[in-house]
Amino acid sequence: MAKEKKARKGLKVVHQMMEIYKYTHAEDKALPWLLAGAFLLPVIAGVATGLFLHFNWLWWIFMVILVVMLGVLLATMLLTNRADKVGYAKIEGRPGAAISVLGNINKAGYNFPQQPVWIDPKTKDAIWRGTGYNGIYLLAEGAPSRTKRALDRQEHAIKGVTAGSQIPVYRIQVGTGEGQVRLKNLRKKVLDCKSYEPTQYKLSIMRKIHPRRRFMLTKGELEVLNERLRTLQDKHGLGIPKGMDPTRPQHISRRAMRGR
């Protein structure tokens, strides 16, 4: 029974990889050559090493197993990377693309609800709000000149429920223009966001020994923050025309981006 489950799981993985390959190859015609190169690179290096060191037959068996495993690993990593690039290119610039990338982020307590906190029904510019142990995130899609005032209002409303605290608010403009974050770099940008709070030391000592320390919420504080923000959203609502769902068309997971 256990062997059958493992066999089914293995077949499922192979099927998924084939689907990813077909999906990526449709947009990336150089993919077969790149995968072949990634697989052959460790093979060639292993053969050259074996000839140079005059391996015996036992070492050759070990080397063959090793280089094949490395080749498969490199090819798989390359395929995943190329598939991500194709997926990002397909949805970049579409409404809801930002939350499609961050909606399934599941590390370090990050939470990015699918519902935007603000949207312009004419331009489809939108703002999403998320949280993490490092603070609050506001993601804006659209021209910065059009979303700035809405971001200011959102940040002001947030400060109203976090008054007296030092919880930072990170504003991220998503897009392809100057000063905006490309979709492919969005996850890294969110994960790299850092803010600092003063320590309890006096300023003169703080500068010499403890210049700054990273701002971090506890699990309990993050839960309280999320509850307050949910209450804020329920209270103010969202100005979306009736019957309009701005996130549904672009609710795309990373698996869907790769054709799984």
Residue 258 covered by a domain: no
Domain termination site, one of 91, 116, 148: 91
Q: Tell me what pLDDT residue 200 has.
A: 41
45 shares a domain with 137: no
Residue 185 has pLDDT above 60, yes or no: yes
In a domain, 183, yes or no: yes
Domain check: are 74 and 105 in the same one? no
77 and 50 assigned to the same domain: yes
Q: What average pLDDT does the segment 209-227 reach? A: 76
Neighbours of 200 (CB within 10 A): 7
Q: Tell me, yes or no, whether 196 lies in a domain.
A: yes
Predicted confidence (pLDDT) at residue 210 exceeds the cutoff of 70: no
Same domain, 118 and 20: no
Indicate whether 240 belongs to any domain.
yes
Q: What is the pTM of this model?
A: 0.69
Domain end position, chosen among 91, 118, 135: 91
Q: Which comes out higher in pLDDT, residue 50 or 10? A: 50
Structure confidence at residue 172 (pLDDT): 94
Output 188 or 207, whichever has higher pLDDT. Answer: 188
Q: What is the per-residue pLDDT for 260?
A: 44
Residues 43 and 145 in one domain: no
Question: H helices within the chain, ranges in order?
Answer: 2-25, 31-53, 57-91, 97-102, 144-161, 186-192, 203-208, 219-236, 254-257
Q: Give domain status of residue 84, yes or no.
A: yes
Q: Which of 9-13, 19-23, 90-94 has the highest mean pLDDT?
A: 19-23
Judge whether 257 lies within some domain. no
- Show the domain range for 248: 97-252
Q: What is the largest CA-CA distance in the chain?
A: 76
Question: Could you say which of 38, 70, 91 is where a domain stops?
Answer: 91
Both tokens assigned to 162: 């976090």
The answer on pLDDT for 259 being more than 80 is no
Asked whether residue 127 falls in the same domain as residue 235, the answer is: yes
Return the percentage of the chain with pLDDT > 90, whole number: 35
Say if CB 40 and CB 70 are below 8 A apart. Answer: no
Give per-residue pLDDT as tens, 110-126: 999 888 999 998 988 99
Given a cut of 50, whether residue 243 has pLDDT beyond it is no
**Does some domain include residue 112?**
yes
**Into how many domains does the chain fold?**
2
